Amino acid sequence: MYNPVTLSGEGVTLEVRVRTEDLSSVANAAKELGRPRVTIYRWIEAGKIVGIKLGGILFIPKSEIERLQKEKATEEATSVA
């Protein structure tokens, strides 16, 4: 199912359609990444990952979780070598 999301900032408004099955809650993202929820919120604030707010609830795109998992795997592989 697609849900419209309106993004606004600096005089620009953009409507994006998001598939809800492509999003994960902060709690689920934290579990998948093996990090506390507060770390996920800090990463969003720092711009390390993208967060999407729908109806006042913050979600993380699954593509962001996958990207961080790949980065972690790459870091671990290079530190072992």
Cβ-proximal residues to 5 (8 Å cutoff; 6+ apart), any chain: 15, 16, 17, 18, 52, 54
Residues of the domain holding 72? 20-80
Residue 10 in domain: no
Number of domains composing the chain: 1
Residue type, 72: K
Residue 36 in domain: yes
pLDDT reported for residue 81? 58
pLDDT reported for residue 74? 84
Residue 52 in domain: yes
pLDDT reported for residue 39? 96
Question: In sequence order, what DSSP letters do the residues of the chain get, joined into one string?
Answer: -EEEEEEEETTEEEEEEEEGGGEEEHHHHHHHHT--HHHHHHHHHHTSS--EEETTEEEEEHHHHHHHHHHHHHHHHHHH-
pLDDT above 90 (res 6): no
What tens digit of pLDDT does each residue of 15-67 get?
666 677 889 999 999 999 999 999 999 999 998 998 888 888 899 999 999 99
